[in-house]
Structure 1
Amino acid sequence: MSLSPGESAPLYSHRDTQTHDDVMGSLSLRRDLSHPENPPFGTWWTYTVEETLLWPILEYQGNINNCLDVILGDFNDEPDNEDTERRNQPLSSGITLGLDDGATISEFVESFLRNIHTKFPILEPQELRERGENLVENGLGWDGETCQVLLACALGAISCPWEVADLENYDRIKPSRERLSLANEYFSAGQKRLGALLTQSSIIAVQCIFMAGIFLMHQQKPVAGWRLLNVASIACRTYISKRMARESRNGRESRSRSMEQRLCWSCFKTEREVACEFGMETSGLNVIAYSTSLPTPPNGFNSEMENSTAHQTVSPSGTTATSMMRETYQDKSWYYFLTDIMLCKLEMRIDNYCQDKRREAYHFAGGSPEVFFRSMTEALQEFRYQLSSYYNSLPPLMQFPMGGLVPCEDEALNQLRWRIYCVQHDIYIPALYILLHNDVSGWSHNLVNDLIDLANECLKLDVIFLKTAVTPHRQYNTWLWLRKGVRSALILIASRRLKAQRRPGLERLEVPDDVTCADGARRLIQGLRYWSAESNDCKEYLALLYELHAEFRI
């Protein structure tokens, strides 16, 4: 079409504004899997519920994105939502808020230090206690210190001590409704003080934003939680950049380096866990995946983490009877943090390898799957060896049994074992995918045997996840564990369908029996029903599993 000089052309045509692949959709957290990638050799790197539903053997015909859509479409975190207003109201008219009550603040601060700070050592315990005392004495201010105390109290109120005997007790809410209400009140007060901190490049700003994100994760709000964890990671990078600029100008090093390191790792590894479920990139701190350095402990770490309730006990010899126990406790907390970082770094290296291998697949398109997967199998075995070396090098204080269903008595050890299981599963799952989606009857016997060995280990882990992923214990990664249990259920359904096909060459594949799977299905359903009152996606998982297998129709 031609136009004369006197005619005007529209700035934006209909064609410009209506495109098949809307760029705004590509910016969404929501991954549209309605038109999934169809790469050479398949999607063997799958890590999420949604990606697993794409496996042809499951023959799932529903909306792949449905479970995440429920989470992403939940507007309970919007300020004008009436449900949020009701949720933040005290659940009992007899509750007095008392946000500056000395006994309440002291109790919740100590609960925070026991239940949260032992996993994320992002602040100085004694400094937090002093700020709490100052708040009691002078009242609530609008500064970062007040915000930090309020958020610590919120986390202390919503978190619970690890009690193995209660892990199958679904008869009562933990913490109590009254305590949950107080947690919401403290968080609401802290949230009102976050605004000014969002524009600051300071340690306390990063700490408060991170703590707010962790609280939202405890509330089963992964989208809102991820958003703040992402902001905390970016704020951490900004602070480091400014600190380096100052040092470059005045030639003096900052004394906050240890705190920076602890904050960076806490922000990054927590943000990454949530981002992976949405298929999102992290804030950029993944540059430390191959770093050889680890955070340095804070000065006097053993003494500053002491529990204030244990100051008075004295042994006949004149020394505190609990000092050795406290010191052991602090050492274990720090070892936990460092070991978790090492496992996170290995997890990132595995993921980076898989991304490189995905790109390689396109260059190898049309080639032999056997040849392509042989080099991958060798790499998986190397990762397996690295993980085994990490586990074998743990100090006696941090050692725990592997492979069992019985939870560890110590929460830190149980968390570490779970992390190791997750890394192991990342290593083993490609092997099971290969066996599910390829005819290996003509492949090298050695390669097939190696793949079956890895796949058998994967299936053992899926049984563990199915039976233990969901408990009534509330923690920051409860939502992540829920999804891990559901994904393992899908994997076991797929493996049992594979077994029913009686393919040649797979006789050694050890698919769990019906009794084992039925027991796991019962436990998973019980847990999903328990959490469905707080996390709407649980109802969708129940419907999904109900559709796919009869064992979940109970």
Structure 2
Amino acid sequence: MPTGTSKDAAAGDPPALASPAVAQAASAEASGSRPAKRPASRGSASYPRKRANKACQVCRARRTKCDNQRPACGFCEKTGAICTWLPNDLSSFDPASLAILERFDQLESLLLSTVQQNTARSLEQTPVTPHSNTAVTYQDEISEDQLGCVDNERVNVRLEEVLQWDPLQTQLSAFVCPPETHQDHSVRFSNGQEYLSEELDMVSCDEMIMCFWKSVHSKNPILVQEDLRRRMNNVCMNGIRWDAESCLVLLVCALGTISSDFGENTEDEGQLLAREEETHRLAKAEHYFSAAQKRIGVCLGKRGLLEAQCFFYTGVYLATTMRLEAAWSLFLQAKVACQDFRCLSRTDAPTEAPGSNSEVQDSLLAEECTYWTCLKSELELHHDISAPGFRSIDLWYPERFPAPPRNNMIDNDRPWFFYLAEIALRRLANRIMGHVARNYDLNNPRDLSRAREATAAFEHEAQDWVTSLPNPNGLNNISSDVLNFILKGHLANCYELMYWPFLGHALNAPSTQTLSDPENVVKSLKLCVDRIEINQPGFRHRHHGTYGMVRACARSAFVLLAAHWKGGLFPEMMPEHWQRSVWSVIQLLEFWKLEIKGANKWKEMMVYLLPESKGQSC
């Protein structure tokens, strides 16, 4: 090949086989101009970025890289310069992109206006608290949507936590722990074998159902009496089978046997005879419970209404006989069995459309009631148990209250009103627990102000709850009415949680430090005496909340003793006759020391700490 041809090709002449596009590009390059862009399709088009949209005016003037932080970039915030931005240059965007961006702007404006309207509406509906000129409500501190898992240690209201407070630790440094007097459960009820039988008779079952309905069901109305009687008759006629129905019937028999009327065993007269009769009932109930436990395995691994009720009533019996760790695990298992319930869909929509058949609606109502009952019982024990690996407490609850029954679910309306009132208090207590779990630094004026405002709002809501009752004045009748007795105790729990941050901070602060909020500390100390007086009518009444009541009264007594030994301003704040209240708790612990582990130790500590108890005996 002649060399001239090669030189001509190297000089830039396009070969003959090149495409027209390549030839055009090469020609344009040789002439020093760039080819015109071919218009790209909408789907593959890209648009050049302009540096003016990627830097503030200060960084552009300095010709340095801007980190694009809004409202002020890092350099401007560091130097104190005014960070300004040019409007976005959208001239290079096609019409479709501009329409999309415009639509985004409209949605953003709509969202912001909605948020502002909701905020303004909530402020208009909020009462003004005594501590602030602005409207504050508990939603500002912890709203229902924010409820979730909190650390049990952050809600430090356990009895064991109080015993670690500085005033008590100082006084108890020389205390010698007494020997344990708690008896093992298997020893106490070992004579239950005499009741061993493979059959149930209709007469005794009918009596046990009536006792169960009066003492157990009235507090947690989750069963239908006709259905329970049908199940009981089926078991009596066909024998005790190995299924969930027989398990539930046996649990009802156990609880009906162990139950007693409120107010029984409250007098010292005939105490020994009452103790012997109760031991006889416990042994008989333990036989039914043992038979039910042999059949509880059929419920494991299943999710359903009957299974959840079996787990729940197993937990109720265990709690009634002071086996709290086992009871809590069964309440937890009952909640697991409820996870497929339709009421847990977290929606405000009705559970069933109008016109649906009554059987479906009754099933939905039973699910709602059962879940709420399991939820309340598990939360009440979670604090006291504080099991390793279960430090978190889930405060979430369904938004809907259980709907009123449409059939003969209960004998009258009063147990149902009690049930709804108890649920409302449980919701309030959960929100207060979420507030307490924040652990405000009360030495910080801002946190102290927020804690005061939240407490005032919670007080207002608690008072609203009282006035909303069908008979608010009847709540004070607790000496002969077990339902009022329980509600009054739950209300005291809510108030205790409200004031707890102020009380704990005051009793653990240095003696030279001024009290941050003496008003709420005085309220808390007064509440300790009130709680003990409220619970006195039920000091010897056995039910599945007895253990929690004993621990709560013991905690209140230790708080009073801690305040007494704290000194400083506390002697002037102590409620009248507080020593008498502590002594009544000492007698309470003496009564239950054989059944509640640790009760005898708590009693001896109180006797040691209470000066007025010297020379007295239980």
- The amino acid that maps onto 1:275 is H
State the TM-score, normalizing by the size of structure 2: 0.65
- The amino acid that maps onto 1:378 is E
Question: Paired residue for 1:297?
Answer: 404
Matched, 1:232 2:334: yes
Shift of 1:286: 3.2
Matched, 1:52 2:152: no
Shift of 1:428: 1.9
Distance 2:446 2:512 in 1: 14
Shift of 1:243: 10
Aligned partner (choices 481, 491, 496) of residue 559 of structure 2: 491
Shift of 1:130: 1.3
Aligned partner (choices 594, 609, 615) of residue 548 of structure 1: 609
Question: Paired residue for 1:108?
Answer: 208
Matched, 1:354 2:464: no
Deviations 1:87-124, CA, capped at 9 Å, x for gaps: 24338x6x675750211111111111111111111221
Deviations 1:264-300, CA, capped at 9 Å, x for gaps: 1100110001001133558976321xx4420012322
Alignment of 1:149-160 (within 5 A): 149-160=249-260
Structure 2 counterpart SS, 1:59: helix
1:459–1:243 distance in 2 versus 1, CA, 3 Å = closer
Alignment of 1:323-334 (within 5 A): 330-334=412-416
- The amino acid that maps onto 1:400 is G
Question: Paired residue for 2:581?
Answer: 520
Structure 1 counterpart SS, 2:301: coil
Matched, 1:431 2:475: no
Contact 1:234–1:283 (CA under 8 A) maintained in structure 2: no
Distance 1:233 1:524 in 2: 33
Distance 1:129 1:286 in 2: 35
Distance 1:85 1:373 in 2: 52
Question: Paired residue for 2:186?
Answer: 84
Distance 1:442 1:538 in 2: 34
Deviations 1:333-383, CA, capped at 9 Å, x for gaps: 00111110010011000111122x22x65xxxxx94344222211111111
Distance 1:418 1:435 in 2: 25
Distance 2:597 2:578 in 1: 25
Question: Paired residue for 1:320?
Answer: none
Question: Paired residue for 1:260?
Answer: 367
1:158–1:164 distance in 2 versus 1, CA, 3 Å = closer
- The amino acid that maps onto 2:370 is L
Contact 2:212–2:252 (CA under 8 A) maintained in structure 1: yes
Aligned partner (choices 451, 474, 488) of residue 376 of structure 1: 451
Distance 1:529 1:440 in 2: 34
Matched, 1:129 2:229: yes
Question: Paired residue for 1:458?
Answer: 524
- The amino acid that maps onto 2:459 is R
Matched, 1:287 2:353: no
Distance 1:242 1:492 in 2: 42
Distance 2:454 2:225 in 1: 43
Question: Paired residue for 1:4?
Answer: none
Deviations 1:123-178, CA, capped at 9 Å, x for gaps: 21110011111222121111211111110110111111112783666442286222
Matched, 1:479 2:584: no
Shift of 1:495: 1.6
Tell me the matched-pair count: 444
Distance 2:338 2:393 in 1: 11
CA-atom RMSD, angstroms?
3.5
Contact 1:135–1:146 (CA under 8 A) maintained in structure 2: yes
Alignment of 1:23-34 (within 5 A): none
Distance 1:117 1:216 in 2: 16
Structure 2 counterpart SS, 1:464: helix
Deviations 1:173-206, CA, capped at 9 Å, x for gaps: 2862222121111111111110011122121000
1:241–1:517 distance in 2 versus 1, CA, 3 Å = closer
Distance 2:253 2:512 in 1: 60
Which has more radius of gyration?
A: 2
Shift of 1:442: 8.5
Distance 1:372 1:219 in 2: 43
Deviations 1:289-329, CA, capped at 9 Å, x for gaps: xx4420012322xx4434xxxxxxxxxxxxxxxxxxxxxxx
- The amino acid that maps onto 2:373 is S
Distance 2:191 2:600 in 1: 25
Distance 2:528 2:210 in 1: 36
Question: Paired residue for 1:19?
Answer: none
Distance 1:210 1:178 in 2: 24
Contact 2:251–2:313 (CA under 8 A) maintained in structure 1: yes
Using the TM superposition, name which of 46-55 and 335-344 deviates more: 46-55
Alignment of 1:34-433 (within 5 A): 46-60=156-170, 76=184, 84=186, 87-90=189-192, 99-163=199-263, 166=266, 170-171=271-272, 172-173=274-275, 176-240=278-342, 254-255=360-361, 256-279=363-386, 281=390, 286-288=395-397, 291-300=398-407, 303-306=408-411, 330-355=412-437, 357-358=438-439, 361=441, 368-396=443-471, 399-402=473-476, 407-433=478-504
Distance 2:453 2:386 in 1: 27
Contact 1:217–1:225 (CA under 8 A) maintained in structure 2: yes
Structure 1 unmatched ranges of 5 or more: 1-42, 77-82, 307-329, 362-366
1:552–1:46 distance in 2 versus 1, CA, 3 Å = farther
Distance 2:157 2:293 in 1: 33
Structure 2 counterpart SS, 1:100: coil
Distance 2:543 2:161 in 1: 25
Shift of 1:238: 4.2
Structure 2 unmatched ranges of 5 or more: 1-152
Structure 1 counterpart SS, 2:594: coil
Distance 2:311 2:394 in 1: 16
1:263–1:242 distance in 2 versus 1, CA, 3 Å = closer
Structure 2 counterpart SS, 1:200: coil
Shift of 1:241: 9.5
Distance 1:58 1:136 in 2: 56
Contact 1:142–1:193 (CA under 8 A) maintained in structure 2: yes
